[in-house]
Structure 1
Amino acid sequence: MKKSQIIILVVGIAVIGLLYSLPRVVVDNEEGNAEIVDQGNISGPSVETLHDAPLSEEARETLDAIASKLKGETDKEKFAILADTLALIYAQVGKFDSAAYFLEQAALKLDNLQTWEKTGEAYYEAYTFALNEQKVAYLADKSRTYLNKVLEVNPQRLDLKTKVAMTYVSSANPMQGITMLREILEEDPTNEDGLFNMGVLSMQSGQYKRAAERFEELVRYHPDHLQGQFYLAVSYFESKQTNKAKRQFQEVQSMTTDPMVLASVESYLEKL
């Protein structure tokens, strides 16, 4: 789950709660035979539900003015510029689904590799922050649609393939995502996103020793990966490897000055 998603949100034991808020998949010791639990209705929410969230009056006036220009713009390039501007504003206020929606409008006009990737990435970011199951499924499907268009042209883009894999984990066919992650690691055993996400999935299913193995691989090849270092410590802690957990939490302490991360580390150390 790239980009920012987890470590800065962690305070103390809340990290475990966050793991259980991820797509609910059961993975065996070989990271296979996964099954999804309670996916619910996967039909898409309305556009209004996606991007008509409350904004400040000033921000709303700015957005309305640009949106008004967008409706009347017939030139494809100018339309795309206006749509990108709207997307940027929405992203800056944390409304990632709205940003993705407007990038998609530009992609529908220009229909090229660059706009497909921007739209797919934007929908993936919105997906990573979504909480409602219906919305998660809708945003995941949108992300796959555009990222797969890029992968058809550039199948070597393992970074995008990893994102597609993770959207499948929250779908009715989670094994497809796990299979894709395995394929990525077969092609590139040091792949940062692949190792991290396999570790997270193992944590979520309670396989902390297996998770520790994944995170050990991750930090061996990518020692500056703070999330991986932290989750390695948590995996040691949960698998009762007390001495390793203590040393690893101390390692995390030496890597960051982020007060939220340090507070979380301290809470674990107090329990050791």
Structure 2
Amino acid sequence: MKKTQIILVVVVVVVVGILYSLPRVVVDNEENNENIGQEDVAASDSVVQAHDVQIPETERGTVSGLIANLENAESKENFTIFADSLAAFYQKAGMYDSAAYYLGKGADKFSDLVLKEKAGNAYYEAYGFAMNQEKMNMLAEKTRSYLNQVLEAHPDRLDLKTKVAMTYVSSSNPMQGIMMIREVLEEDPENEEALYNMGVLSMQSGQYKRAVERFETLVGYYPENIQGQFYLGVSYFESKQKKKAKNQFQKVKDMTEDPMILSSVDNYLGQL
């Protein structure tokens, strides 16, 4: 689920661990142009130049070398090694758009569904960090372009279908995404990602009683899902089920030692 779309923004920042990886630098690949943006950093024709503002001086040589090796690689094996190395570097630095960009280059160059799935997943991860509609649309389209190719060959991949569905939720046709998730649940009523996302979508639309149903089902099947457990507490809270909310938040406290999560839980408990 898009982290920036949930009404309880503070809650999302606490629960979703990947938000600890900021700052972000993005690479937009549209119509074969590379437009890299972070705050007031001007667009550049070179991915390396755009990232110079973030990459430590001691590591720029390594990154430049990997890019040069990538451009000169002819075999799929070598190209993939260098693309994966660049992606790993940017993912570690929290530059998820850039990681997806390099994985996408491999997926575009070679007809390999494994590479296309890898690129699609990377773009989906970057999509979760997009902070404006234009960027969201671009990353969502990239996600669909790669993952749909995998789905054409393997329509039973409900995990990928759920990701594709979620890219439609913030588009001009959100019902398309919701219908796709419902299709997933019709095929697999216990699908973890589908149940979770339907719960979050219910929260986003203010249907907290419906969210309670979704999250209760989710944690019934997957009691270790800490996000589901937390959002169940939030849904109880928002639907005025104070006793259940208190018990649920206490349960979350017993499940984790993460200080940020505990802080948010204590904040809710302080309001009960």
TM range (shorter): 0.7 to 0.9
Residues 215, 228 of structure 2: 8 Å contact kept: yes
Query: For 1:25-72, what per-residue CA distance to the aligned partner results, in whole angstroms no more than 9, with x for missing partners?
Result: xxxxxxxxxxxxxxxxxx949523165342211222211111122222
CA 1:141–1:48 in 2, change beyond 3 Å: closer, same or farther? same
Residues 77, 110 of structure 1: 8 Å contact kept: no
Equivalent in the alignment of 2:83? 83
- Distance between the aligned counterparts of 1:169 and 1:84, measured in 2? 29
Residues 195, 217 of structure 2: 8 Å contact kept: yes
Residues 185, 194 of structure 1: 8 Å contact kept: yes
CA 1:48–1:60 in 2, change beyond 3 Å: closer, same or farther? farther
Residues 14, 260 of structure 2: 8 Å contact kept: no
- Distance between the aligned counterparts of 2:181 and 2:230, measured in 1? 21
- Distance between the aligned counterparts of 2:10 and 2:139, measured in 1? 25
Equivalent in the alignment of 2:97? 97
- Distance between the aligned counterparts of 1:75 and 1:211, measured in 2? 49
Written as runs of structure 1 = structure 2, the 5 A alignment for 1:163-178 is 163-178=163-178
Note the C-alpha offset of 1:75. Answer: 2.9
Partner amino acid for 1:47? E
Equivalent in the alignment of 1:136? 136
Equivalent in the alignment of 1:203? 203
Segments of structure 2 that go 5 or more residues without pairing to the other structure are 16-28, 38-46
- Distance between the aligned counterparts of 2:71 and 2:247, measured in 1? 58
Is the aligned partner of 1:15 residue 2:2?
A: no
Equivalent in the alignment of 2:26? none
- Distance between the aligned counterparts of 2:150 and 2:242, measured in 1? 45
Equivalent in the alignment of 1:111? 111
Query: For 1:183-232, what per-residue CA distance to the aligned partner results, in whole angstroms no more than 9, with x for missing partners?
Result: 01111111110110001011011111111111011111111110000000
Is the aligned partner of 1:48 residue 2:35?
A: yes
Query: For 1:1-33, what per-residue CA distance to the aligned partner results, in whole angstroms no more than 9, with x for missing partners?
Result: 39xx69xxxxx97127999xxxxxxxxxxxxxx
Partner amino acid for 1:81? I
- Distance between the aligned counterparts of 1:239 and 1:212, measured in 2? 8
How many pairs does the alignment contain? Answer: 243
* Matched position secondary structure for 1:48: strand
Residues 184, 191 of structure 2: 8 Å contact kept: yes
CA 1:79–1:44 in 2, change beyond 3 Å: closer, same or farther? closer
CA 1:120–1:16 in 2, change beyond 3 Å: closer, same or farther? closer
* Matched position secondary structure for 1:111: coil
Note the C-alpha offset of 1:176. Answer: 0.6
Residues 14, 264 of structure 2: 8 Å contact kept: no
Consecutive aligned runs of 4 or more in structure 1 exceeding 4 Å deviation: 16-19, 43-46
- Distance between the aligned counterparts of 2:263 and 2:99, measured in 1? 33
Equivalent in the alignment of 1:69? 69
TM-score by length of 2: 0.83
Equivalent in the alignment of 2:183? 183
- Distance between the aligned counterparts of 1:81 and 1:245, measured in 2? 48
TM-score by length of 1: 0.83
- Distance between the aligned counterparts of 1:67 and 1:17, measured in 2? 33
Residues 80, 110 of structure 1: 8 Å contact kept: no
Partner amino acid for 2:202? S
* Matched position secondary structure for 2:155: coil
* Matched position secondary structure for 1:47: strand
Query: For 1:158-194, what per-residue CA distance to the aligned partner results, in whole angstroms no more than 9, with x for missing partners?
Result: 1111100000111121111000010011111111101
Equivalent in the alignment of 1:268? 268
- Distance between the aligned counterparts of 2:80 and 2:106, measured in 1? 5
CA 1:94–1:149 in 2, change beyond 3 Å: closer, same or farther? same
Higher deviation after alignment, 103-112 or 137-146 = 103-112
